[in-house]
Structure 1
Amino acid sequence: MDGFGWRVLFVSVGAVGILFAPVWWRCYREPHEDPRLSQQEREHIENGGGLSAPTDQQVAFSWPLVRQLLSKRQIIGASIGQFAGNTVLVFFLTWFPTWLATERHMPRLKVGFFSILPFVAAAGG
C-alpha cells in the first residue's frame, strides 16, 4: 500500500460504495411500494410503527432515581462491559500501532495489517 498512496484506498472504498448502490436501489423500497408487506403491516408502519409517543414532560434529576438505576445488575454489567470494550478499543486504535512502529520497527503496511486483525476477529465473532 505504501507504493500506491492514500488515493488507492480512497478510490477502493468509493468503488465498494458504487458496487453496492445497485443492490440498494434494487432491494430498498418505501413501505407503500413493497409488495411483500401485508396491508396490516403497511398501515402499522405508516401509523408510526413501533415508535413511542413523544412526550413534552421532563423528568427532574433526583438522587433516589440514580440509586434505583445503579441498583440494577443489568446497568452495572452493561457499564462494566462498555468500559472494558472502550478501553480495549482505545488501546488497539492508539497504543498498539504506535508500539508496533516504534518498538518493533515495523513498516507502516505491516502495522496496518496487524492493527486491523483484532477488529477483523471481533467482526467474525
Structure 2
Amino acid sequence: MNRPVRILVAKVGLDGHDRGAKVIATALRDAGMEVIYTGLRQTPEMVVSAALQEDVDAIGISILSGAHMTVFPKVIEIMKAKGMNDVLLTGGGIIPEDDMQTLNNLGVGRLFPPGTSTADIAGYIQEWVKEHRSF
C-alpha cells in the first residue's frame, strides 16, 4: 500500500461512553493508520458524510448503548446509497453474538466485543483494506 489506511472512528447516538473509542483510535494510530475521530453524539448521516469527505477506507463505530441494530443498518444503508461499496463498516461494543451475525449478513464487517486485542482489530482492518481497496 502506498499510503496509510484511513479510518473514521465514530460514536453514534446518545451513547456518551467514549473511552473505548479513544483507546481504539490510539491503537489504530499506533498501528500506522490515519485515524479521524468524530467525537460523541453523531448521527449515521454525519458519520457517512465525514467518511466521504475524509476519503476513508473504513468506518469503525463504537456502541455501548444497545442501539446497534438501528445504527449499523442505517449506516450501511446510507453507505450503499452513496456508492461506498468498497469501504469497510466495522465496530465493536456490547453486541450479542446473534446480533453480530445478523449485522454481518447485512454487510457489516467483523464486530469486536470488549476485551478484543487491539492488534487483532488493527490486523483485521489492514487485511480487509488490502484485499478490497486499491490505492
TM-score normalised according to structure 2 size:
0.23
Bigger Rg over Cα? 1
Higher relative contact order (CA 8 A, sep 6+): 2
TM-score normalised according to structure 1 size:
0.24
Larger relative helix fraction: 1
